[in-house]
Amino acid sequence: MKFALLRFAATALIVGTLAACSTPPAPRPGDMGSAPRPTVPAGTAWPGDTGPLPPPLAQPKSRWIPVRWAELPGFSEDALHEAWNAWIKGCERPAPPFTALCGDVRRLSIATPEEQRAWMVARLQPYRVEAFDGSADGLLTAYYEPLIDAARQPGNGFAVPLYRLPASYGARKPWYTRQQIDTLPEVQAALAGRAIAWLSDPVDAMVLHIQGSGRLRITEADGSVRLVRVAFAGTNDQPYQSVGRWLLDQGLTRDATWPGIKAWIAANPQRVNELLWSNPRYVFFREEPLDALDAGFGPRGAQGVALTPGRSIAVDRLSIPYGTPVWLASSGPQVQLNRLVLAQDTGSAILGAVRADYFTGWGTEAGELAGRLKQGLRLWALWPR
């Protein structure tokens, strides 16, 4: 779902809760008690939402139960104009059921919140997303883009490369492991000239590999500095292994959070490669420019559109199709969220009926929130009537 931070705020429990690349433990019954449960008096209805309800809808991994708009927590309070930016982005590549609505979506970008809400009630039907066992409770995590200093050429402490896809990519599957990439002369030769940029800290590089994208503040050869994005281009097709789990299994730490891993590295610098090589997965990147317009959005998600901080989520597309507007309700010790979001991305750990990864943006504050966020969740898919 999903970085400068390893300077270092807690990004997530790397043992299994890193949003994009590991698998969080399945919530037990009762764990999701913090997810908001609206209390709607009998007979209450949102103005205009009085017709008969349609039948439930079935998705490959979920069932959708039609409900009244009054069931959605905070629907009357959300700053919908913030979500409209994400929706307009989604209309660049709309899912077929929403194509006919995109003209209205663009037109309503300058409408009042009341007009936007009235249009949603008239044109969309909310469906509570449930697992096949009837559970509507799920799990919310978060991801973000790191912002890291880099250099275009190695030297002056910048010695860790971020590579483009090798020219021979695809000729060998799986490609070489992380350790082989770092040590074998023939692999180094295959990657010669393929470095996008060089970082000073191998752990910063590890964070980029885990999240899959990031922003680099690059010092060019002429001394100028510019901001670019490195986006996911592919992997070596090796299995992902958590470095935090490796530390725990080796009995080397009891704290597998990012700060705990950083502390272990500081105390054991001679074992950094051993730690990194415990995860054979390696990620290759592509460079993307960041102009003034791009800088306000995140990388492109699985839907093929740029992500909007605070309004884009990664989902299991077999539960919620890409491009679907979704009402998200989650409350816990870190944050309370009742808001309109767009399903615009996915991740290898984002599996199940009621599961979402919340894109928080980029930089330190976004990373701190992404690192803490793991709490109960309820989702409502908003589908054209």
Domain count, the chain: 2
Q: Is residue 129 part of a domain?
A: yes
Average pLDDT, the chain: 86
- In tens, the pLDDT along 34-49 reads 445 444 444 457 888 9
206 and 307 belong to one structural domain? no
**Domain check: are 254 and 162 in the same one?**
yes
Tell me if 6 is assigned to some domain: no
Do 161 and 137 lie in one domain? The reply is no
Q: Which residues contact 382 (CB under 8 A, 6 or more apart)?
A: 120, 124, 125, 126, 127, 324, 325, 326, 327, 340
Write the pLDDT tens digit of every residue in 26-37.
Answer: 333 333 344 454
Q: Say whether both 161 and 123 belong to one domain.
A: no
Any domain includes 7: no
Nearest to 113 by CA among 72, 79, 146: 79
Q: Do the domain assignments include residue 120?
A: yes
Distances (CA, A) of 216 to 219, 234, 248, 289, 350: 9, 19, 31, 10, 26
Asked, for residue 248, whether it belongs to a domain, the answer is yes
Residue 17 lies in a domain: no
The parent domain of residue 286 ranges over: 144-294
Q: Is the peptide bond before 161 cis (omega within 30 degrees of 0)?
A: no
Specify if 219 maps to a domain.
Answer: yes
**Residues 62, 153 within the same domain:** no
Residues 164, 266, single domain; the answer is: yes
Is residue 8 over pLDDT 60?
A: no
Write down the pLDDT at residue 292.
62
**Angle formed by the axes of helices 113-123 and 80-90, nearest 10°:** 50
**Of 294, 314, 341, which residue constitutes the final position of a domain?**
294
Query: How confident is residue 347, by pLDDT bands cut at 50, 70 and 90?
Result: confident
Q: What is the mean pLDDT of residues 293-310?
A: 89
Among 260, 294, 328, residue at a domain's last position: 294
pLDDT at residue 364 in the model: 82
Q: Quickly state the pLDDT bin for 335 (edges 50, 70, 90).
A: confident
